[in-house]
Amino acid sequence: MSDKAYPFPHQRLDVYRVALQLAQLSKGLADRIPRGYRSFADQLIRAAGSTVLLIGEGANRYSKGQKRQRYAEARGECGEVAAALDLLLALGLVPRDDAQQALVLAGRVGAMLTRLLQRFA
């Protein structure tokens, strides 16, 4: 038996790795949100986590249609992350530099997912 691990398809995707970074950064931002706004923090974490999970699910599907559906859902969740970050910035609940960094990652994930959607059209 070999010591070599056999990665899942999603583990080879750049979009998956960037989405993980986005989820980590989102969690760090959410941890700093004051108590009265915890529902926004929870929404940010859920959307970032769903982005990662849907990318993983899509990469492990066989049919083009199933892949496309999961990637489309992941792109929607990523858009929700961006909207949540915009809201948190507008309300002054998160540091601008950190939120901007997360928005850049969200933009990258969204662009990569758009490319995957085109590939599986």
Domain contains 2: no
Structural contact between residues 21 and 105, judged by C-beta atoms closer than 8 angstroms: yes
Question: Rounded to 5 degrees, what are φ and ψ at 33?
Answer: -75, 135
Domain contains 3: no
How confident is the model over 10-22, as pLDDT tens digits?
A: 999 999 999 999 9
Domain contains 4: no
- Radius of gyration (Cα) for the chain, nearest Å? 15
Q: What is the CATH number of the domain that holds 59?
A: 1.20.1440.60
Structural contact between residues 102 and 22, judged by C-beta atoms closer than 8 angstroms: yes
Domain contains 1: no
Residue percentage of the chain with pLDDT more than 90: 94
Q: How many structural domains does the chain have?
A: 1
**What is the domain extent for residue 86?**
11-119
Domain contains 110: yes
